[in-house]
Structure 1
Amino acid sequence: MDLIGTDLMNRQRLNMQTIHNGPTLDTDSRPLLDHNFSATEIKEALWSIDDNKAPGLDGFNSKFYKAAWPIISQDVITIIQGFLATGKLLKSWNNTAIIFIPKVSYPSKPVHIQTHLYKTKASLGKDYQPHTTCFVAGRLISHNILLCQDIVKHYSRKGCYSSCLIKVDLRKVYDTKDWSFLHDMLIALNFPLHFIRIIMVCINSTHYSIMLNGSPSKTIKPKRGLRQGGMEYLFHTLMRTSSHEDFKFHPRCRKLRLNHLSFTDLMFFCKGTSNLFSCSVKVSNPSLPLQIAQEVLLPLGSLPFPYSIPLNFKRISAADCDVLVDNMTSRIRSWYAKNLSYAARVQLVTSILMSISSYCCELFIFPKTVIKKVNLICRFYLSHASDNNPSPGNIGWKHICCLKKGGGLGVRNLETWNLVAVGKLAWHV
């Protein structure tokens, strides 16, 4: 509640000189943001929303609006055009329900549900092109991590050029964004005042309700934070940065024209020089990293650091995997009070404990000591409902890892799974 329900105090003001050095909205483009949308454009925006999108609190999804369009079309068009002309928005339009939907056995992220009238309004003016998507056909998310690891591992070499890497937590960037900062930025970038008013009404009218047992809770009124819908603009901005005359590519990235990667965090690469775009990690001048970090107002980091897995220029060690072992141990300790049967513990080991390590298994070969620790933790919990009980169990671990049709319990053999998962990467080469 404190994260989104309080104003950001003592916010640093904009540096207008820096903003004016970059691109701003030109005079010819300003009228395009103030033009009235026609009935055809509003209909196209509604039809661009998938029929299977979750309905809002009113229970209506886009399929309902499409089916009833001959009856309700005039009312919908009048309401949307009226908002765009006056900037007045009904409170019920921007009411978002936060709910856990069990798409998987153990959901870990909430789903935000909005009314489809608001979604239709938000879709106006969008130009969906193949290059705007964040997903690339034929690639895996893990490829970003492997590529970043391949870049970082050269930092330990003597002949490595001055290199720079900036890591940005995207969740914090969006969740802590102050609304007054957005308002000041839109004005500084020369956006029309009426357009700014519409944007700020959409943001300021946001309120949330948490669905508990099918009933909405008391309304939560946020004071800051943005929905993560502007990723395409961020990535296009980063791509334009690579065309700047002062920008210099990170070593080994010029041919690919690679300057950023995005997964849970945003990774930005460039050459380690003292200019606006750099925050150095590996440079020849010892005093330069601190100088660059102060210039871009970012703390100076060090390797290794987490990016789904620990990124390091050295080989992954057992100490780098301690976080994985600690996660499994803490999960077991949360189950102590449940007094589960042996069959229930088998299910938890196969579906939860092994799944914690499954993602890392696809990225690198585990050290032998880590595989041994993970197997011991699973064996201790399966046999004794504990995370540290060295007494032997009734069944050997090798027999437990056999298939059920072979007399085992179907628990995954971590060492074999690790080799197979990493070997699968060869199919994508």
Structure 2
Amino acid sequence: MDEKEIRKSLFSVDSNKSPRQDGFFSQFFKKYWTTIKGDLCAAVPAFFKIGVLFKQANTTMLALIPKKQVVQSIMDYRPIAYCTVFYKTVSKILCGRLKPLLPSIVGKEQGAFVEGRCIFENIMLTQSLIKGYGQQGIEFSNPVSNIDNGMHNFNLVRYLGVPLNEGKLNNPIFADLLNKIQNALNHWATHRLSYAGKISLINTVIFRFEQYWCATLLIPKGVIKLITKFCINFLWNSGEGTRKLIMKSWASCCFPYKEGGFNIKEILTWNKSILCKWIWAIDNKSESTWSQCDLIYNIKATGFWTMQIKPHHSESWRGILYVRNELITRARDIENARTILNSCVKARKLKLHLLYDQFREKGNRVT
């Protein structure tokens, strides 16, 4: 183990994390690296030599963050662990050394833990299975794990928090998402927040609610319209419930700062950008379980770029094919569409912010 490996692990720790119980955060170690590197480069190899982490470095403080306004049980809290920087540095070195071994240890069916795999693939695969079972008239008296108890109708069940539905997507299916966003905004509306604070909340917390769903489904325009309405009311209403003057259209709020906007992600455009990663994965012949299964079940001999939307396709697949068609229309032909996707690849990864920039409405640059 050399200084380079230790430094790489330390500098990969987020500098903005809260200080730990010893009072030090990673930014301190980074700023004074030349001073402390001798001690750290002696302590880290010592752990790997004796296999024991001394108590002061192995002590972790837990903070309980409420998930909802009214807390009734311990299950209503989200535990956050505050580990020491030394502990994180050692952990990252261990992870880095295990990383090349994991693909041979973790089965292909597992959608997490291995670089390049995505937990959303399991949702996509389950969506296709549910659609296939529904067409064959198969029902289950006991749904699989992670599906809400007592819901035996496929129109109601969820898997990993995302609804599984064999029929057409509609607003009631997204009631849980809409309620979470509305409740969060109603809670924050009681605080005297500046416009900058409100924009920050919309850009971070609200956006996280949406992103999990956007990764596997093309969100109906009616649902997007409601979420946008919630955000507009939250942004321009005062804490006393009175409405202030709307100084910008929502479309201009979604422009980047350089175009006079607030850099808020427009939901439908971001949704399409995320779904493009599945198009890119298929086009690049991904070896994931989801890609291989759909290659046999959905794509078959017709080819992905020319296949038509069929009745047996799940809502996830319909969303992907809809976005594919729009991408081809925008690019004017298939080859140009593939060129657009490949132009957004950096270091063998599809960069969604570059794709979003391809899809979004453009404003006038502010000088």
TM normalised by structure 2 equals: 0.49
The higher-RCO structure (CA 8 Å, 6+ apart) is: 1
Report which of the two structures shows the higher radius of gyration computed on alpha carbons.
1
Q: Give the helix-richer structure, 1 or 2.
A: 2
Q: Give the strand-richer structure, 1 or 2.
A: 1
TM normalised by structure 1 equals: 0.42
